[in-house]
Amino acid sequence: MKKLLFLFAFVLAGVSGLHADEGMWLPSEILKKIKDIQSQGFKLSAEDIYSVNKSSLKDAVVRFGGGCTGELISNEGLLITNHHCGFGQIQSHSSVEHDYLRDGFWAMSRAEELPNPGLSVSFLEYMQDVTDEVLKGYKTKMTEEKRSELIAKNTKKIEEKAVKGNPNLRANVRPLYYGNQYFLFVYKVYTDVRLVGAPPSSIGKFGGDTDNWMWPRHTGDFSIFRVYAGEDNEPAAYSEKNVPFRPKKFFKINARGIKEGDFTMVYGFPGSTREYLFSDAVKYTAYTSNPHKIALRTLRLDIQKEEMNKDQAVRIKYASKQAGVANAWKKWQGEAKGLIKNHAVENKQAFEAKFDQWAKGKPEYEGLVTRFKELYGSIEELSLVQDYQSEALNAVEIIGFAGRGQRGAERFYKDYHMPIDKACFVALYNAYNKNIADKYKSPYFKEQLQKFGSIEAWADALFTETPNLEMAAEIYKNTNDWFRENIAPTLIAVNKEINLLYRAYMKGQMEYNDATNGGKIFYPDANSTLRVTYGKVKGYKPADAIYYTPVSSLDGVIEKDNPEIYDYNIPQKLRDLHATKDYGQWESEGSVPVAFIATNHTSGGNSGSPVLDAEGNLIGVNFDRVWEGTMSDVLYDPEICRNISLDIRFALFVIDKLAGASHLLEEMEILK
């Protein structure tokens, strides 16, 4: 074990030809990278980034809800994240009478701030390498089943010990490098989080699906919340007696501006990356899985848009749902295109051939490449069945609702429109019937299709004056039972073996790199744990004769403004502010900056992450990546991969000039 840990320490600290911009680094390990970070322009220390002995940058960063990041911007618990991260809360408070999605929302006093049951924020207390403790008692001849039992037992002890005596703490032990290393993460969770402000969607979601994942971007993607606590500053259930949380650390705001070449750091909770994926898995993603999933979601989006354009109430109901469907839909398109354009499959195959030669005569690694190919080949068809199970059969709303026991009926029907669901049933089930081989379809599906004669007639029976919940539950049960009993066991068994291979393959790649002086620095794949990435503000060249500069402005918003198109119809007040050049202190070069791009390596989950300058001050809020670089979850290309961030000055401008909520600015420490 000591030898393995030494290996990880070496590859984390080693000098390499890997671009400095690539990588998602554990904050507790940042000392091993600090010299390189400082060489890029960073002016603080490793302990300023992460410390358990004093307040540090980590203490101003939270995991927001289930899949975003947020950051504290005042000593009174004020928090900023993306508009799309707070979208569900904004929507839940909206109605036709009070359409906060359309009109925005701003609490002008603490009493007007809106509670959000179910929303929480989590602060990382500390992280710790617990590899030795997790593997305590492990013997090399132990079966994999016994190893898993041992790890589960040891993990439970570690987590229980970490939170003992403190009900406000949550602990998770997470594997890194496919189970070659284990870290403990301990969080303090606050559950009283209130909505303070949000711009109208015409700003917060400006450009809609058309601009999503694209550059140049002109989206004011932010919302404001406040964390509340008990009088002792500890987590407490919602109560009118609660008081604003007093953080250990909050970010000062740099409103002086940024320029190309400036240092940037992103500090957040990236969700999932797969940088060490085998070539066959990349090939399936780029050439099979993504194209099919894109086609299925296109069907859903077209149906939703048609009905949403007819009725404002339907638009409100489906605004959040449509955003959720569209986000991955467009990302998959860019990811597939980027992987193919950058020859990801071919490059990985070339490396695997070299690795395979090196592995000969090494029992731990010999034959890995061949076995990977055998296993991935054996489940390719079944993997497509799995994609269709989730993206077609289970994507019909009423079927999922009925199949899961009709939980949350009031909330479900509040945001449900049967004509959309019926049209989706017809489109998705026809696609499943066309693209999945008969041998993988359940007998029930084939019987029902024969009984009704067509998917359309089946839909007529399911969707009468109200949906037939009994039939919906029957569809869910029978199609999912068939999948669970006849498809899933093979997928589970094969993927279990594949995952075991990855543990050996990951370790083998490191040894191969060391033995051949490959010069690669390894970093753990993202897994929704806190990470640091760093880079610089920088434009890029997406195609021949095109260069995108790295900063967009309000002038670009006005250029795109179109009252005839919902996603581009900005508030009249914003037009007036632009016409009179009433920008106040937020003006820069004759306009107001809106967004910027940089070379930080980010992923889903980094939405809402703070973007910091060389002195650790907030300059922006991360919200997206450029479309051409969305393959960065699998392959990072420093020439094309860029993260997109809201320029904090645009948020301040909107709060000040558009919302008239200057009382919020008074809470912040703004550097001018």
Active site residue 93: no
Token pair listed for 484: 């669970």
Token pair listed for 12: 């984390």
Calpha distance 642→631 (Å, rounded):
11
Q: What is the DSSP string of 403-448?
A: HTTSTTHHHHHHT--HHHHHHHHHHHHHHHHHHS-GGGS-HHHHHH
Annotated catalytic residue: which of 21, 99, 221, 387? 221
Token pair listed for 111: 């009493």
- Angle 471-472-475 (CA atoms, 0-180°, nearest 5)? 85
Q: What is the DSSP string of 602-618?
A: --TT-TT-EEE-TTS-E
Calpha distance 640→489 (Å, rounded):
40
Contact, 69 vs 62, CB < 8 A?
Answer: yes
Cis peptide before 216 (omega within 30 of 0): yes
Calpha distance 551→7 (Å, rounded):
41
Calpha distance 44→537 (Å, rounded):
19
The alpha carbon dihedral of 345, 346, 347, 350 has a sign of positive
Determine the residue type at 144.
E
Calpha distance 368→351 (Å, rounded):
13
Q: What is the DSSP letter of 467?
A: B
Using CA atoms, how far residue 169 sits from 122, 174, 296, 527, 616, in Å, is 9, 16, 41, 20, 27
Determine the residue type at 37.
I
For residue 348, how many other CB atoms are within 10 A of its CB?
21
Q: What is the DSSP string of 52-81?
A: SSS--GGGGEEEETTTEEEEE-STT-EEEE
What's the chain's length in residues? Answer: 672
Active site residue 311: no
Using CA atoms, how far residue 416 sits from 13, 17, 300, 396, 619, in Å, is 52, 53, 14, 11, 39
Active site residue 656: no
Q: What is the DSSP letter of 25?
A: B
Annotated catalytic residue: which of 84, 417, 578, 601? 84
Q: Catalytic site residues?
A: 84, 221, 607
